[in-house]
Amino acid sequence: MDAKELQKRFRAAIFKMSTPEVTGLPADRGFEVAFAGRSNAGKSSALNTIAEQSGLARVSKTPGRTQQLVLFDMDFERRLVDLPGYGYAKVPQGMKESWGKVVEQYLMQRQALRGVVLLVDIRHPLRHLDRVFLDFAAARSLPCLVLLTKSDKLSRGPALQTRRLVQDALRNHPAAVHVELFSAPDRVGVEEARWVVATWLGLAQARSLEAPRATDPN
């Protein structure tokens, strides 16, 4: 399947359901890819951009808008999952704690989960809760794609330097981690991210992401 065909498949994604509990999810079969990250890291914007749909996931300037597990069907056996944001969401502490438990249960129990996309604001890379999330992924041997979002907020040199620093910090992490720059407005890293998600969903063959790209220095 080529890049254009993949775009069509992602454009076909539709809202399926939302639930505050893992027990409310559909039957645990098929393929799922989860999108996670700190509140206001650009998670919903990244999901929309990868899916080539402006309004698939609800985008808000208020941290913590996504308060449940939100599922989007691509077909009868493939789903994208928007996880509740963690961190400084403007909600009561008790609700934050319940979100954390739900996310932990989902990561540790959901057998349909094939990989996770972790959205990290490039200006605030790898905070404590990001590392905790990666540790959970490692416990399940889940592959992880770390997208350094809002890369357009930095000039090219500092953005690439931050990516190198994050790559070095995670080089020996037990989870299988790949790090990419990502910008929804500038569409940096969109095709690479879509291809990785597609491989986890069984729609494409894995390919190396280490080859030089336009975002790499000469």
176 lies in some domain: yes
Q: Can you give the CATH number for the domain in which 47 is found?
A: 3.40.50.300
CB 170 within 8 A of CB 177: yes
In the structure, what pLDDT confidence band is assigned to residue 88 with cuts at 50, 70 and 90? low
Q: What's the domain range around 47?
A: 3-200
11 lies in some domain: yes
pTM of the model: 0.88
Residue 179 confidence (pLDDT): 97
Tell me the per-residue pLDDT of 22-62, one tens digit each, with 9 for 90 and over. 999 999 999 999 999 988 899 989 999 999 998 898 765 44
210 lies in some domain: no
Q: Annotate 179-194 with b (16+ C-beta within 10 A) or e (fewer).
A: bbbbbbeeebbbebbb
33 lies in some domain: yes
CB 144 within 8 A of CB 180: no
Q: Which of 169-173, 175-179, 204-208 is predicted with the least confidence, judged by mean pLDDT?
A: 204-208
125 lies in some domain: yes
In the structure, what pLDDT confidence band is assigned to residue 99 with cuts at 50, 70 and 90? low
Tell me the per-residue pLDDT of 148-168, one tens digit each, with 9 for 90 and over. 999 999 999 999 999 999 999
215 lies in some domain: no
- What's the Cα-to-Cα distance from 9 to each of 79, 96, 106, 108, rounded to whole Å? 12, 34, 25, 28
206 lies in some domain: no
Indicate the number of domains in the chain. Answer: 1
d(CA 35, CA 201): 13
28 lies in some domain: yes
Three-state SS across the chain?
CCHHHHHHHHHCCEEEEEECCHHHCCCCCCEEEEEEEECCCCHHHHHHHHCCCCCCCCCCCCCCCCCCEEEEEEECCEEEEECCCECCCCCCHHHHHHHHHHHHHHHHHCCCEEEEEEEEECCCCCCHHHHHHHHHHHHCCCCEEEEEECHHHCCHHHHHHHHHHHHHHHCCCCCCEEEEECECCCCECHHHHHHHHHHHCCCCCCCCCCCCCCCCCC
